[in-house]
């Protein structure tokens, strides 16, 4: 699980950091079949992605802690649960 911060609400720069971390984690694992999960957050807004093989799939939703807290926690719980299966 790779996490990045969208400083000044700039998700573009946050994704650059997270995509680099995801790729490095994939190389470190030595197995491109293991999915790598990533997220970028401002602390209030959260976005998720997954790297599978050489394809990054981004969730188009932006989860807001103030308005969608339960949904955000459900997604975060699912991602952490899926990531832990590969430990």
What distances in angstroms separate CA 56 from CA 18, 35, 69, 77, one per listed residue? 11, 10, 25, 20
pLDDT greater than 80 at residue 39: yes
Q: How many domains does one find in the chain? A: 1
Give the domain extent around 24: 2-84
Could you report the per-residue pLDDT of 64-82, keeping only the tens digit for each? Answer: 988 889 999 999 999 999 9
Q: Tell me what pLDDT residue 67 has.
A: 81
Cα separation, 77 vs 37, whole angstroms: 12
What integer is the mean pLDDT of 17-27?
Answer: 94
Residue 31 has pLDDT above 90, yes or no: no
What pLDDT is recorded for position 27? 93
């Amino acid at each position: 699980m790779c996490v990045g911060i969208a400083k000044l609400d700039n998700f573009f720069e946050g994704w650059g950091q997270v995509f680099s971390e995801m790729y490095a984690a994939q190389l470190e694992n030595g197995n491109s079949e293991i999915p790598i999960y990533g997220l970028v957050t401002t602390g209030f807004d959260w976005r998720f992605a997954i790297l599978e093989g050489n394809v990054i799939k981004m969730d188009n939703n932006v989860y807001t802690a103030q308005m969608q807290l339960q949904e955000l926690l459900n997604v975060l719980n699912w991602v952490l649960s899926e990531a832990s299966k590969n430990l």
